[in-house]
Amino acid sequence: MTARPSKYVGVFAALVLILVPAPLPAARPPSAISASIQPSLADVLEDVTPAVVNIAVRSRAPAETNPLYNDPFFRRYFNLPEQQQRLSAGSGVIVDADKGYILTNHHVVADAGEIAVTLKDRRRFTAELVGSDESTDIALLKIDAEKLKALPLGDSNALRVGDTVVAIGNPFGLGQTVTSGIVSALGRGGINVEGYEDFIQTDASINPGNSGGALVTADGLLVGVNTAIIAPAGGNVGIGFAVPIAMASAVMEQLIEHGEVRRGRIGISVQDLTPDLAEALSIEENYGAVVGSVEQDSPAAQAGLQAGDVITAVNDRKITGSADLRNRVGLAPVGSEVEIEYLRDRVRKTVTMRIEPDETIAKSGSMSSRLDGAEFQDAAGNVVVSGVEDGSAAARAGLRMGDVIVAANRRPIATVAELETALTNASGTIVLDLFRAGSKHVLVIR
């Protein structure tokens, strides 16, 4: 009974002897190990972090959506509590030190009553909202301050999967925090189907409060504005998204000039070039957008584009698909010229055309005050509600983003222009026939 245990004791001892490492040479000083084995971003961060700010937003949020609750006499008569102010926190990045311009997210400052910006040196300023664009989730603020530090802009179009990036922001309101990772993917979309998307995906930790913060390269250049995460448990799981600085810069220029983004169009419908389509068209390209239709008298028609043409580049830059083309054209300044490269019968051609205003998107202002806060867009012979502001008259009336309106006051409509004609100066009850999630609804607005 004693032989077996002693046998296993011997085997264990042998394993221990085998696993004991040989004596190591004398260790180098810790500072030498740190310098040679663990490269640091500290010097870069010391230079760039003063350009990243914390943003505190004070906004008024109504407790109820019933319009009667917004009537102060009604609230006083029924002894209802006053509307409470809502506080939220986010981040921003200084992009122009001389003019005090700060980029952040639209959703950070939406419905803001007061915006406070705190710098890394703890100076605090009240910010002015220059303009905001919901479709790209970009907003521009301005503060009047001296000795600001701005982040130099990088080239987000030159990013590659695997590049080292750093996310800087204010997660959970803790204060300025830095996380690092890599570019996980480029050209991501599908997060907001109504928006303009070309997201940089990264595994650098982006948590609530990081929105509007900076995504920076290892050499300290701003390449993105952190905007969204996929967070099943409410926190970071390694999937974060940033708006490329190329897109954010285009939006910023329009916000500075107009206070809003004035989108353009060339009058075509397109779809992605798939391998099956490429084979059917007998072309070797695996990228681009196939023209499905061309509107009469549009810039594209005047330039000679035809259905079946494959657009491969805009202004000498390749496009990856229909969403990429939509971004380039939609964010180009109205009145500017773009050079379109395309294939027809396997022959490469180039044409220049002028961007015209996109009048297929209309706000509710010219229709009825009862629809204030809604946006409408033409879509294949229908009118789609492309956006509804929270707490707006349209939201209180029951209108929702994605509703497809087919008639107004019993009058069939197929375009935004027809909807405007039907509702302009409407003083009585408004009746909208619409489809929502595949079901028909009648919305009565008094």
Active site residues: 107, 137, 211
Strand partners, 178: 168
Contact 53, 211 (CB under 8 A): no
CA dist., res. 400 & res. 437, Å (int): 11
Which residue, chain included where needed, has tokens 């023209």?
291
Contact 355, 265 (CB under 8 A): yes
Strand partners, 289: 272, 311
- The secondary structure element, H or E, covering residue 137 is none
Please give the angle made by the CA atoms of 335, 340 and 344, to the nearest 5 degrees.
140
* DSSP per position, 202-248: E-S---TT-TT-EEEETTS-EEEEEEEE--TTSS--S-EEEEEHHHH
- Distance of CA 397 to CAs 61, 192, 200, 386, 409, Å? 17, 23, 37, 16, 15
Report which of 205, 127, 209 is spatially closest to residue 169, judged by C-alpha positions.
209
Q: Supply the DSSP symbol for 57.
A: E
Tokens of 437: 């999630």
Residue 115 CB neighbours (<10 A): 24
CA dist., res. 242 & res. 187, Å (int): 10
CA dist., res. 301 & res. 28, Å (int): 72
State the sign of the Cα–Cα–Cα–Cα dihedral 399, 208, 129, 115.
Answer: positive
